[in-house]
Amino acid sequence: MNLLVRNEFMKLKRLKSVYLVLLFGFFPYIVNTMGLFFMDIEFDWEKYYMFVYNQYAVLLPTVIFIFSGFYFNIEFKNKTVLNWMAYPYNKFQLIISKILAIYFLLFGISFVNHIIHLTTLWLVFKNDILFSELLTLFLTSMIFTVLSLLIIPIAGLVAFMTKNIVVVMILGVASFFIMTVLLGADLSIIFPFSYIYRISIQTYISSMGYSEIGLQTGGAVILAAYVSISLLGLYLYSKKVRVF
């Protein structure tokens, strides 16, 4: 499995779209940091954090979905799927290696993003914020990232089922609108990104999360179901005689 993941990393390094992921990933930080230093706007550390966090929470799900679907779709677009058939590995292992490579790449980009963002916040507002509060902000950001990346198999399954990147892109953009519509309601537990936003921000601002344990648990179960069903779907596709 390690060899397969390394091979996928080599493929990812050759993709120019990775640079777009970097650009979109750092866009909220760049825009708001420029506003912090160059615009006549009164910022405190909470405003600065929340501006970056909220914009990042909108962009990341879309980036995850579209980039993941695009990476899976490349196998169809470049007609390299027959090469997969010739590999002396279980086809489901090949699929998992792609998921892991995407996960680690996007996790690494997000981790660096959060470190740079919070380091800037600490340097500018170190007299106003406690280090323990800074750690809470870091934990909030990382929880959102780690949970959001669990959605990669869903994008992969959509790519396998449709073999059409346009469908993946439409669903990726639609996820933003669905997330914002459901965000303030308890019904948000049924949609992964809405649930992930609220359960993550609850670490920092409890009033923005779910007050009832039942909602927290229910959302976790539904999220786990989304991921499990997607992995099962990918597994069943890998067992077909003509998967691709």
Of 111, 125, 105, 108, the closest CA to residue 33 belongs to: 125
Q: Is residue 27 over pLDDT 60?
A: yes
Residue 64: inside a domain: yes
159-172 pLDDT, tens per residue?
A: 888 878 888 888 88
* pLDDT for the residue numbered 8: 77
* pLDDT for the residue numbered 244: 47
According to the per-residue pLDDT averaged within each range, which of 4-8, 146-150, 234-238 is highest? 146-150
Residue 101: inside a domain: yes
Longest Cα separation, the chain = 63
Look over the chain and give the mean of its residue pLDDT values, rounded to a whole number.
86
Q: Is residue 85 over pLDDT 60?
A: no
Pick the range with the lowest mean pLDDT from 29-38, 127-136, 192-201.
29-38
Token pair recorded at residue 123: 């340097």
The whole-angstrom separation of Cα 136 and Cα 53 is: 13
Residue 137: inside a domain: yes
CB half-sphere exposure, 233, CA atoms < 13 A: 17
Higher pLDDT residue, 5 or 82? 5
Give how many domains the chain has, as a whole number: 1
Residue 194: inside a domain: yes
Token pair recorded at residue 73: 């779709």
Q: Which residue has the tokens 């948000």?
A: 188
Q: Which residues of 105-132 are buried (b: 16+ CB within 10 A; e: fewer)?
A: bbeebbeebbeebbebbeebbeeebeee
Residue 87: inside a domain: yes
Residue 28: inside a domain: yes
DSSP-assigned letter for residue 209: S
Residue 244: inside a domain: no
Range of the domain at 93: 2-239
34-47 pLDDT, tens per residue?
A: 888 887 677 789 99
101-137 pLDDT, tens per residue?
A: 999 999 999 999 999 999 999 999 988 999 999 999 9
Q: Is residue 241 over pLDDT 50?
A: no
Residue 50: inside a domain: yes
